[in-house]
Amino acid sequence: MNRTSRPHVLVILADDLGWGDLGCFGATRVRTPNIDALAARGTSYWDAHAASSVCTPSRYGLLTGRHPWRSPLKAGVLGGADPCIIADDVPTIASVLQAEGYRTGAFGKWHLGLDWQRTDGSRPAAFDPGFAPDMQGDGRDIDYTVAFHNGPLEHGFERYFGIAGSLDMPPYCFLDQNRTVGIPTLEKQPLITSQRPGLMVPGWEDDQVDVAVTRAAQEWLKEPDERPFFAYVAAASPHRPCVPPGFVRGTSDAGARGDSIHLFDWMVGELLGVLPDDVLAQTLVIVTSDNGAPMIFPEDGDVVIHRPNGAWRGQKADAYEAGHRVPLVITGPGFDVGAESRALVSLLDLLPTISRCAGVAATPPADGVALGDRTEQDLVGAQAYDGRLLLRSASAKVIYGSGSGGFSEPVGQPCGPGSELVQVFDLAADPAEARDIRRNDESVAPTMYEEFVAATGYAPVPDP
The CA–CA distances, whole Å, from 444 to 273, 367, 448 equal: 49, 22, 6
Question: What is the distance between the alpha carbons of residues 282 and 213, in angstroms, rounded to a whole number?
Answer: 23
Give the phi and the psi of residue 426 in degrees, each rounded to 5. -100, 100
pLDDT at 113: 94
Mean pLDDT, consecutive 10-residue stretches, the chain (464 aa), reads 75 98 96 98 97 98 96 92 94 97 98 92 68 61 93 98 94 97 89 77 96 98 95 96 94 93 98 96 98 78 77 97 98 94 96 95 86 86 96 95 96 93 96 94 91 87 56
Q: What angle do CA 51, 52, 53 make, to 5 degrees?
A: 140
pLDDT at 221: 98
Which amino acid, residue 144? Y
- Bridge-based pairing state of the strands 283-289 and 8-14: parallel
pLDDT at 96: 97
What is the crossing angle of helices 209-222 and 255-273, to 10°? 10
pLDDT at 301: 57
What single DSSP character describes residue 117? P
Give the phi and the psi of residue 339 in degrees, each rounded to 5. -95, 150
CA-based radius of gyration for the chain: 21
- Bridge-based pairing state of the strands 199-200 and 186-187: antiparallel
Give the pTM: 0.95
Question: What is the distance between the alpha carbons of residues 239 and 335, in angstroms, rounded to a whole number?
Answer: 29
CATH 3.40.720.10 spans which residues of the chain?
Answer: 8-357
Question: Is the Cβ–Cβ distance between 115 and 169 less than 8 Å?
Answer: no
Question: What is the distance between the alpha carbons of residues 144 and 140, in angstroms, rounded to a whole number?
Answer: 9
- Which has the closest alpha carbon to 24: 43, 41, 39? 39
CATH 3.30.1120.10 spans which residues of the chain?
Answer: 384-456
pLDDT at 13: 99
Architecture of the domain defined by 384-456: 2-Layer Sandwich (3.30)
Hey, what CATH class is 8-357 in?
alpha beta
